[in-house]
Chain A
Amino acid sequence: MRSGDSLPPGDLPRQFASRDGMEATLRQLFPQAPGGLSPIQGGRRAAEAALAAIDPAAYGRSRNHLDGAVTRLSPHIRHGVLSLVEVREAVFAWLARSGQPPVAAQKLINELGWRDYWQRLWRQLGDGIWRDQEPLKTGHPPERYAAALPDDLLEARTGLACMDGFASELIHTGWLHNHARMWLAAYVVHWRLIQWQAGARWFLQHLLDGDPASNNLSWQWVASSFSSKPYMFNRENLERFSSGRYCSACAAASEGTCPFEASYEQLQAHLFPGASPC
């Protein structure tokens, strides 16, 4: 497990013959930790490569699409491998280099602002990020929501190709596109009626960028305890921003049992029948 380094007792090894060797060692060190390594590599070299590849203008145009030019910087920022200041300066340097107007980088700078905002809120709220910031606007009483995630979701076998795809990606890679996080969270909270905290804990177990503040407050945004209305989506929205990759292979879509196949008005009436009009 160690390749040649002599360490004081209890110090963990720093040298490995291969990534597989490191994984085997980590399995021994942390036998209770589920799963294996992510294909996404950690470390400053990987972070710098990701930072060098950013295209703020393309990001601004396409970030909501699963195939969009998202930066994938979040795990590196979450653990301070890259500081927000470094990323901010890289964006400004890109602007200077590209000759593009500032508006080309506005969305990306805005997203960095979100990261800073969540951290400031965490300082203010402390462990309060685990409690509803405001009452839910769904019309359902809090006790209507289940406390735990069901096995079909945890095992990515709901029968819905999109949700199973997202759950599987979460479990195997530790990263999900922002839009996929929103869809999955909305499905968990609004379609399955599960407490947002259960979903938040699940995400934190797996996401490489798992940050309790960003994560929990975003779940609360979806649930409506940190927003003026619950976030929901329909099949048309998901199909559009995923290029139909899930629906084309989904039995529920072909059999007409897709729970997202409806207008927003129909979904509002179905999911939140007791909600006050916004």
Chain B
Amino acid sequence: MLKPVLWIHGEALGPANPALVAHPGAPALFVFDRELIETQRLSLKRLGFLYECLLELPVTLRHGDVVEEVLSFARRHGADGVVTSAAVDPRFGLLREQIAAQLPLQVLEPEPFVALPEPLDLRRFSRYWRRAEPVLWGRGSAAAPPAPAQRWDR
């Protein structure tokens, strides 16, 4: 891909975004996903927070149908493809497939928090943590016992 545009999504709004790192200066786009915002009735707080994050990134901002907007942005810049970063939300996977049906699309992986061989037993956090904690701390043997399972995202 010689002249790509970058599709920036809501899981990677920082300078570590691998698409921004790999293609500094390339035209970049973020689309406020109209369907998602309306069906989930996202509050203005959430949209405002995203907007403030985006104002500190070199991206064009649009609101509408994500696939249509990305393809239209690529045409506007005479791009020969789209580069984006990997995402966990399955919705991004569906959007990626639709874009890739029209234009070459490259997905770049961010650096993992901890590199672990697959498959991994994820039935409980304790099973994951028994594998992850020693790697994180750079030790080869068993780690300290995990904390009690009383969690929420924070």
* Cβ contacts under 8 Å, A107 to chain B: 147
Question: Given A38-B48, A80-B11, A123-B88, do A12 and B62 touch, yes or no (CB 8 Å)?
Answer: yes
- Whether A214 contacts B128 by the Cβ 8 Å rule is no
Task: Give the distance in Å from the alpha carbon of A231 to the alpha carbon of B152 in the complex.
Answer: 12
A to B contact number (C-beta, < 8 Å): 215
- Cβ of A247 within 8 Å of any chain B Cβ, yes or no, is no
- Cβ of B117 within 8 Å of any chain A Cβ, yes or no, is no
- Whether B51 contacts A44 by the Cβ 8 Å rule is no
- Cβ of A252 within 8 Å of any chain B Cβ, yes or no, is no
- Cβ of B25 within 8 Å of any chain A Cβ, yes or no, is no
Q: Mark B121-147, 1 if CB is under 8 A from A, else 0.
A: 010010011001100110000001011
**Contact segment of A20-28, A135-143, A187-195, A268-276:** A20-28
* Cβ contacts under 8 Å, A210 to chain B: 46
Q: Mark B1-42, 1 if CB is under 8 A from A, else 0.
A: 000000000111111110000000000000010000110111
Task: Give the distance in Å from the alpha carbon of A173 to the alpha carbon of B128 in the complex.
Answer: 33
Q: Mark A70-110, 1 if CB is under 8 A from B, else 0.
A: 11111110111111111010000000000000110011011
**Contact segment of A29-37, A145-153, A159-167, A255-263:** A29-37
In-complex Cβ contact of B88 among A13, A42, A112, A119 (8 A): A119
- Cβ of A246 within 8 Å of any chain B Cβ, yes or no, is no
Interface size on B, residues (CB 8 A): 60
* Cβ contacts under 8 Å, B55 to chain A: 14, 43
Question: Given A107-B147, A117-B129, do A38 and B153 touch, yes or no (CB 8 Å)?
Answer: no
Other A-B pairs, 13, CB within 8 Å; known A42-B51, A80-B10: A11-B62, A32-B41, A34-B41, A35-B43, A36-B45, A44-B56, A81-B53, A86-B14, A103-B144, A204-B40, A204-B42, A213-B88, A214-B153
Interface residues, chain A, with chain B CB atoms under 8 Å away: 8, 10-14, 22-23, 26-27, 29-30, 32-38, 40-47, 64, 70-76, 78-86, 88, 102-103, 106-107, 109-124, 126-127, 171, 173-174, 177-178, 181-182, 201, 204-215, 218, 221, 227, 231
Interface residues, chain B, with chain A CB atoms under 8 Å away: 10-17, 32, 37-38, 40-53, 55-57, 60-64, 76, 88-90, 110-114, 120, 122, 125, 128-129, 132-133, 136-137, 144, 146-147, 149-154
